[in-house]
């Protein structure tokens, strides 16, 4: 019995190690060939998608397991844009913690339960948050809250002792928009709870952001309060 428990404990330990570091190992083994996105975010595909790093100085995946099984691939150009934006945010928002959500499979295509995310140019970014002391903290994502997607913030962006950091979100979107052309990309649209649009507009970074970038004004099939979904497209398309 003791031997069985030892073997079981070792198995669980190794499994946890694989889940935590597996994506990082796979990322290091990827080739340097560019990705190719075909079609649009709702009906396209992708070739040779690239995995986002599991974590960095100011960002982390929504799920180590999700990243390991391949749910965080993007087009290589978009990957570079995302990572450069995080580097800029280290300077502009040095204390903020950013959590990225789901993106695409390596070769795009159907991506349950999402209606888009099919050509490697869609990204879910979980909302950065502030605690009761107005300090930036990392959003907790786990199996209980469906890796963040089951969290429910109210119309003002509050959830228990947490408050959505609208300034950090506005600056993040602004940086992505301003840097995108460097990678021959542009923001096609942003899906974020319509109640939050005025709150973004009131921030220093968000002034005129709603008028500069297309934010969907309709109510999406899921609320998009705990994350902001961004669709990109190539400028040459």
Domain ranges of the chain: 2-234
* Per-residue confidence (pLDDT) for residue 208, from 0 to 100: 87
Q: Which helix (H) or strand (E) holds 22?
A: helix 2-29
Beta strands in 48-207 (DSSP E): 50-51, 59-61, 73-74, 98-100, 122-126, 129-130, 136-137, 158-159, 162-164, 185-191
One of 2.60.40.10, 3.20.20.60, 3.30.1380.10, 3.40.50.720 is the CATH number of 2-234, namely: 3.30.1380.10
pTM of the entire predicted model? 0.93
Do the beta carbons of residue 98 and residue 139 sit within 8 Å? no
- Could you tell me if residue 36 is left (phi over 0), alpha (psi between -120 and 50 degrees) or otherwise beta? beta
Do the beta carbons of residue 157 and residue 214 sit within 8 Å? no
Beta strands in the chain (DSSP E): 36-38, 45-47, 50-51, 59-61, 73-74, 98-100, 122-126, 129-130, 136-137, 158-159, 162-164, 185-191, 227-234
Of 189, 228, 23, give the one whose Cα is nearest residue 106: 23
Do the beta carbons of residue 128 and residue 89 sit within 8 Å? no
Per-residue pLDDT of the chain (237 residues; tens, 9 = 90+): 667 776 777 778 788 889 899 999 999 999 999 999 999 999 999 999 999 999 999 999 999 999 999 999 999 999 999 999 999 999 999 999 999 999 999 999 999 999 999 999 999 999 999 999 999 999 999 999 999 999 999 999 999 999 999 999 999 999 999 999 999 999 999 999 999 999 999 999 998 898 899 998 877 666 788 999 999 999 975
* Per-residue confidence (pLDDT) for residue 5, from 0 to 100: 72
Residues listed for the chain: 237
* Per-residue confidence (pLDDT) for residue 233, from 0 to 100: 97
Of 119, 192, 199, give the one whose Cα is nearest residue 156: 199
- Could you tell me if residue 191 is left (phi over 0), alpha (psi between -120 and 50 degrees) or otherwise beta? beta
The encoded tokens of residue 175 equal 């940086």
* Per-residue confidence (pLDDT) for residue 237, from 0 to 100: 56
């Amino acid at each position: 019995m003791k031997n069985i428990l030892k073997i079981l404990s070792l198995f669980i330990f190794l499994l946890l190690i694989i889940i935590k570091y597996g994506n990082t190992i796979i990322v290091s083994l990827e080739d340097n060939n560019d990705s190719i996105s075909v079609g649009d975010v709702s009906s396209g595909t992708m070739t040779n998608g690239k995995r986002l790093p599991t974590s960095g100085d100011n960002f982390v995946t929504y799920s180590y397991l999700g990243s390991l099984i391949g749910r965080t691939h993007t087009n290589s150009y978009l990957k570079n844009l995302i990572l450069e934006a995080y580097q800029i945010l280290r300077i502009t928002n040095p204390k903020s913690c950013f959590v990225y959500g789901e993106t695409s499979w390596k070769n795009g295509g159907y991506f349950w339960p999402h209606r888009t995310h099919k050509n490697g140019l869609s990204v879910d970014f979980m909302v950065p948050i502030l605690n009761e002391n107005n300090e930036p903290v990392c959003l907790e994502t786990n199996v209980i809250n469906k890796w963040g997607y089951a969290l429910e913030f109210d119309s003002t962006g509050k959830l228990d002792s947490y408050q959505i950091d609208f300034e950090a979100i506005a600056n993040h979107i602004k940086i992505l928009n301003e840097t995108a052309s460097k990678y021959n990309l542009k923001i096609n649209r942003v899906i974020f709870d319509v109640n939050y649009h005025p709150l973004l507009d009131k921030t220093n970074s968000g002034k005129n952001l709603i008028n500069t970038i297309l934010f969907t004004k309709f109510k999406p099939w899921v609320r998009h309060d705990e994350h902001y979904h961004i669709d990109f497209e190539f400028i040459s398309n």
